[in-house]
Structure 1
Amino acid sequence: MKKLVPFLAACLLLVLSSYIRPLAGYQVGDKAADFKLKNVDGKMVSLADNKTTKGYIVVFTCNTCPYAQAYESRIIALHQKYASQGYPVVAINPNDPGMATGESFAAMQTRAKTKNYPFPYLVDETQQVAQTYGATRTPHLYVLTRQGTGNEFKVSYIGAIDDNSEDAKQVKIKYVENAMTEILAGKPASTSSTKAVGCGIKWRKA
């Protein structure tokens, strides 16, 4: 009987694992939960604030990562191209400032002002939003598409911005722009997921 109990427990765990997906963040097609985070101007921002958007380009980024800095102008360009088409950029800094010098809220304010960000730059103080989304890198990008007329958003693309994290002039495949062309045409992105390339998020120590 004693040997039977561990065996039954293992069987139960195996059955449950086939029904319960690990908490590894969103997959394409999932519903994205809203959030309310503080912007560099001190105001709270959520996805529900703007009722006119068709969706959002949510990008987890930061101040000091060389990859995030290399993509900075490209993130700005995405906002300039797609905000007028209903898909503005929302940038989120998930790094714990205690684990990464230069990632404080004050440093975020300075960065946003110096680079003249045309989009919100939000601080994920608890890192809960990054964990919910499954972000692991900076930058790590998610395209969200509004469902109907309410405030429900579906994840339509996850991953990298393009195929060259170092030199924008050497880019051959613009993953996000290609996905956006199809999404704006009412079609699913044919390449809906790519591997995010960047610095690992600096998680708070337990």
Structure 2
Amino acid sequence: MKKSVFLPVIAFLLAVGLMNFRPLSDGYKVGDTVQDFKLKNIDGKTVSLADKKDVKGYIIAFTCNTCPVAKAYESRIVALNEQFASKGYPVVAIQSNDAQRSPGDSYDAMQQRAKSAKYSFPYLYDDTQTVARAFGATNTPHMFVVKRDGDQYRVAYIGAIDNNQYEPSAADKKYVETAVNELLAGKSVTTPSARAVGCGIKWKGV
């Protein structure tokens, strides 16, 4: 009798606990319209997607300072901005880890990292984690390519940068690069999603 009473309670507690390990929203899917956001950049200024009127889209990278996988991909994120910013698809990097759980991802640490790595793109602090939850970002890095559609942006690609997190030269599927090149050529993205790999985002309240 006691067993039958406690099983539903245990199941409920487990369900509540698991909610803390994932975003509250499933996030955007390919084809969805992205709601604009305003986040503080490492220079103290607020940045939103609407700031740039001449872009064709954005390469949005949810990343951080501390994850080994994010560190391995850092140079490739920098390279994506160098390759595509002048063509209308600049990089916007977003750091969403809870700084209480990951002090190395604090705003001050973000400023130091951006300076030492010479970021030429915004590095935004998603302190409330609202933007990461809206996008459905789960990993660092987690990439989203969004394409301008009038005054809005639609998701064209979600997932990994490429298929080799350890060695850039060994990657034979460069998902983000291919997606942006296809968009620039006026084509549909042939691989609109690929599983993101990396550390899980450190959510608040876990």
Q: TM-score range by the shorter chain?
A: 0.7 to 0.9
Structure 2 residue 193 is the aligned partner of structure 1 residue 187: no
Q: Equivalent residue for 2:5?
A: none
1:12-91 to 2 correspondence within 5 Å? Answer: 23-91=25-93
Shift of 1:23: 3.3
| Cα deviation code 1:94-142 (max 9, x no counterpart) | 1000011301100000000000001000000100000000000000000
- Provide the TM-score with structure 2 as the length reference: 0.87
Question: What is the SS of the residue equivalent to 1:102?
Answer: helix
Tell me the percent identity: 58
Q: Equivalent residue for 1:7?
A: none
Q: Equivalent residue for 1:155?
A: 155
- Provide the TM-score with structure 1 as the length reference: 0.87
- Distance in structure 1 (CA, Å) of the matches to 2:196 and 2:42: 25
Assess if the C-alpha contact under 8 Å between 2:57 and 2:89 holds in 1.
yes
Assess if the C-alpha contact under 8 Å between 2:38 and 2:46 holds in 1.
yes
Shift of 1:185: 1.1
Amino acid at match of 2:173: I
- Distance in structure 1 (CA, Å) of the matches to 2:69 and 2:147: 26
Amino acid at match of 1:74: R
| Cα deviation code 1:45-77 (max 9, x no counterpart) | 000000010000000000010000000000000
Gaps of 5+ in 1: 1-21
- Distance in structure 2 (CA, Å) of the matches to 1:23 and 1:104: 24
- Distance in structure 2 (CA, Å) of the matches to 1:41 and 1:26: 28
Assess if the C-alpha contact under 8 Å between 2:60 and 2:94 holds in 1.
yes
- Distance in structure 2 (CA, Å) of the matches to 1:139 and 1:23: 18
- Distance in structure 2 (CA, Å) of the matches to 1:56 and 1:179: 12
Structure 2 residue 147 is the aligned partner of structure 1 residue 145: yes
- The Cα RMSD (Å) is 1.0
Structure 2 residue 167 is the aligned partner of structure 1 residue 167: yes
| Cα deviation code 1:155-180 (max 9, x no counterpart) | 00000000001111211111111111
Q: Equivalent residue for 1:130?
A: 132
Gaps of 5+ in 2: 1-23
Amino acid at match of 2:194: T
Q: Equivalent residue for 2:3?
A: none
Assess if the C-alpha contact under 8 Å between 2:89 and 2:180 holds in 1.
no
Q: Equivalent residue for 2:201?
A: 201
Q: Equivalent residue for 2:4?
A: none
- Distance in structure 2 (CA, Å) of the matches to 1:112 and 1:55: 22
Q: Equivalent residue for 2:13?
A: none
Structure 2 residue 106 is the aligned partner of structure 1 residue 104: yes
- Distance in structure 2 (CA, Å) of the matches to 1:158 and 1:124: 19
